[in-house]
């Protein structure tokens, strides 16, 4: 196996077949080719005196450091184990939305059934504890999570200060983009406005300009993608806040504050609350929703479009459209509606556990789901939910809706378990986030998905950068017809039946 990035290879386990042994020189050659193309010397580089590196220089260097070992492992797998079987495809996979099929490479985060989502192998509780925090804050800076997803390293406070300044420097929207957004009907759905606003940024893509001018080698793609990704993450909150103020507050815009961190500035531009806790809420929300593997609709769509070498603006705009789908991005507003209907059913009084249980049973009898509960992978309560719950109980525990969330947390899992049909009856992050946002005055449910998109921009952009670093190809699965599927299955299970048809 590769040791670091020196190109040394151990043939442990490779002596089982001559074909594999013959691949070793190919693996080494590919690895050194990558090292060369990434502008990395095969020996430790000596740093010479010169200007202090910019924060973007530091970011790129940390990404290169991680790429050395990651690409080595990728090359070993690709050229030494390309035909090894890691799973099988069933009819259920084909007809069930490819759920659970392991067919994508995404290193920024992974979902553990018992531990929840991990950012670069760290639980969210570990991430929150490790990240730099503003003075007096208990929540890590979400832009620090973006750095972590990109580099695998927890940034220092000095790095975060410089990176936040860089995000502010890039954040100003071009006049043409503002004109485009302001030309849209104010009653247009905020997610439609967001997608259009992101697309309006596309003419400013560093990657597209370099690619179509013929200035980029394949090995250079990732750096220009990174430039676009950082600019996109800097500007998306500006677009989102502008949409919110024009759609819900008579176009009374609030200027950006360069002294605030990324999430706090977004909270400031929304203008819904002067309570400093709202800045904390926005940091927490952005941190918890930043990434969630690569297979969900918005992440997969961004990856898919990006695999065709569409620039990050095209790719993220497509991902936003996927996030707008009611099966993906509106769960928190649906959960909030359910909780509000439960409260109304009890005439505004906080119900007992037994009463909430009966209301949940009534919901199920009516053929509806209980939004905010259940998860395709998790076998425990979503750690993101638990972090939100802890924050709310500590800071806004007297809110009746927060208290109702606590009662539902005790009652609903039992109701769902008793049906015998639910694998995971526990709450997910959507069971609390809507209540948390509404408490501070963000009460327009149609905007909740936009807030989700602002957060998720960090994860999908980090994934896109790494897809280009790892030189992942265009995604092109094979589709099959129903006839093909039917005949294939029939020929295996009933060989004679097919011949008689």
Does this model's pTM top 0.95? My answer is no
107, 291, 311, 430: the active-site residue? 430
Give all domains of the chain, ordered by start, each with its CATH number: 18-43+53-84 (no CATH), 114-325+459-469 (1.10.580.10), 331-439 (1.10.230.10)
Beta strands (DSSP E) in 121-210 are: 122-123
- Name the residue among 326, 333, 337, 331 with its Cα closest to residue 374: 331
For the chain, helix, strand, coil in percent to 5 are 60, 0, 35
The answer to whether 322 and 328 have CB atoms below 8 angstroms apart is: yes
Mapped onto helix, strand or coil, the DSSP state of residue 93 is helix
Distance of alpha carbon 303 from alpha carbon 318, whole angstroms = 10
The two most distant CA atoms of the chain are separated, in Å, by 81
Instruction: List, in order, residues 6 or more apart from 276 with CB less than 8 Å away.
Output: none
- HSE at residue 185, side-chain half, CA atoms within 13 A, is 4
Three-class SS of 368-405: CCCCCECCCCCCCCCHHHHHHHHHHHHHCCCCHHHHHH
**Dist CA 126 CA 144 (whole Å):** 13
The pairs formed by 300-309 with CB atoms below 8 angstroms and a separation of 24 or more are 300/104, 302/460, 302/463, 302/464, 303/104, 303/106, 303/460, 303/463, 303/464, 303/467, 303/475, 304/475, 306/464, 306/467, 306/468, 307/467, 307/472, 307/473, 307/474, 307/475, 308/474, 309/211, 309/221, 309/474
Helix, strand or coil, per DSSP, at residue 92: helix
In the structure encoding, which two tokens stand for residue 130, read together? 């490790």
Q: Which residue has the tokens 């759905």?
A: 189
Structure tokens at 210: 């370099």
By CB atoms closer than 10 A (0-12, 13-18, 19+), residue 482 is: exposed
Query: Is 375 one of the catalytic residues?
Result: yes
Q: How far apart, in whole angstroms, are the C-alpha atoms of residue 229 and residue 213? A: 20
Residue from 331, 424, 412 nearest 116 by CA: 424
Residue 195 to residues 181, 243, 290: CA-CA distances in angstroms? 10, 11, 18
- Rounded to the nearest 10 degrees, the angle between the axes of helix 353-365 and helix 331-345 is 120
User: What distance lies between CA 281 and its chain's CA centroid?
Assistant: 18
> CA–CA distance from 272 to each of 391, 396, 439 (Å)?
19, 16, 10
pLDDT tens digits, one per residue of 304-315 = 999 999 999 999
**What was the pLDDT predicted at 49?**
59
Helix (H) or strand (E) run with residue 112 in it: strand 109-112
Given this model, what pLDDT does residue 70 score? 94
pLDDT score recorded for residue 45 = 45
Q: How many helices (H) and strands (E) does the chain have?
A: 22, 3
Q: Which is catalytic among the residues 168, 289, 375, 439? A: 375
- Residue 409 to residues 355, 401, 430, 482: CA-CA distances in angstroms? 13, 12, 12, 43
Give the per-residue pLDDT at 43: 39
- 328 has catalytic annotation: yes
Known catalytic residue: 303? no
pLDDT recorded at residue 403:
98
One of 328, 345, 346, 399 is an active-site residue; which one? 328
Spell out the residues 6+ positions from residue 52 whose beta carbon is closer than 8 angstroms to its own: none
List of the chain residues with pLDDT < 70: 1-50, 493-501
Instruction: Determine the 3-state secondary structure of 184 from DSSP.
Output: coil
| φ, ψ at 332 (rounded to 5°) | -70, -35
The angle formed by the CA atoms of residues 405, 408 and 414, to the nearest 5 degrees, is: 155
Tokens standing for residue 3: 């040791």
């Amino acid at each position: 196996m590769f040791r670091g990035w020196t190109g040394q290879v151990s043939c442990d386990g490779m002596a089982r077949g001559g074909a594999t042994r013959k691949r070793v020189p190919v693996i080494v050659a590919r690895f050194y080719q990558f090292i060369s193309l990434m502008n990395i010397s095969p020996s430790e580089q000596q740093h010479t005196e010169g200007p202090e590196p910019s924060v973007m220089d530091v970011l790129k260097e940390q990404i290169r450091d991680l790429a050395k070992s990651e690409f080595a492992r990728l090359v070993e797998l690709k050229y030494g184990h390309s035909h090894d079987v890691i799973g099988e495809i069933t009819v259920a996979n084909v007809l069930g939305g490819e759920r659970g099929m392991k067919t994508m490479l995404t290193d920024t985060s992974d979902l553990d059934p018992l531990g929840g989502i991990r950012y670069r192998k760290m639980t969210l509780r570990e991430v929150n504890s490790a990240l730099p925090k503003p003075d007096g804050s208990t929540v890590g800076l979400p832009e620090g999570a973006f750095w972590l997803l990109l580099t695998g390293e927890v940034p220092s406070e000095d790095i975060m200060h410089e990176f936040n300044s860089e995000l502010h420097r890039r954040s100003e929207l071009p006049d043409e983009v503002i004109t485009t957004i302001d030309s849209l009907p104010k009653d247009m759905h905020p997610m439609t406005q967001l997608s259009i606003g992101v697309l309006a940024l596309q003419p400013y893509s560093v990657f597209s300009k370099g690619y179509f001018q013929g200035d980029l080698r394949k090995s250079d793609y990732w750096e220009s993608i990174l430039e676009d990704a950082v600019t996109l993450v800097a500007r998306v909150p500006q677009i989102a806040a502008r949409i919110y103020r024009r759609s819900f507050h008579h176009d009374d815009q609030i200027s950006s504050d360069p002294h605030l961190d990324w999430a706090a500035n977004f909270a400031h531009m929304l203008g819904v609350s002067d309570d400093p806790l709202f800045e904390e809420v926005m940091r927490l929300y952005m941190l918890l929703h930043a990434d969630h593997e690569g297979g969900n609709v918005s992440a997969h769509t961004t990856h898919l479009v990006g695999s065709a070498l569409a620039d990050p603006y095209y790719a993220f705009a497509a991902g936003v459209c996927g996030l707008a789908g009611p099966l993906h991005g509106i769960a928190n507003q649906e959960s909030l509606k359910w909780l509000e209907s439960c409260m109304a059913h009890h005439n505004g009084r906080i119900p007992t556990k037994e009463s909430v249980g009966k209301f949940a049973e009534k919901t199920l009898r009516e053929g509806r789901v209980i939004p905010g509960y259940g998860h395709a992978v998790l076998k425990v309560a979503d750690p993101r939910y638990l972090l939100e719950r802890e924050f709310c109980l500590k800071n806004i525990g007297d809110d009746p809706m927060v208290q109702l969330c606590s009662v539902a947390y005790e009652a609903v899992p039992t109701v769902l378990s008793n049906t015998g049909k639910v694998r995971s009856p526990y709450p997910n992050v959507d069971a609390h986030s809507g209540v948390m946002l509404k408490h501070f005055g963000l009460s327009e449910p149609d905007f909740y998905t936009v807030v989700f998109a602002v957060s998720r921009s960090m994860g999908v952009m980090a994934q896109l950068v790494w897809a280009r670093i790892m030189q992942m190809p265009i995604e092109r699965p094979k589709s099959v017809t129903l006839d093909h599927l039917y005949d294939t299955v029939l020929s295996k299970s009933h060989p004679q039946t097919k011949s008689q048809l």
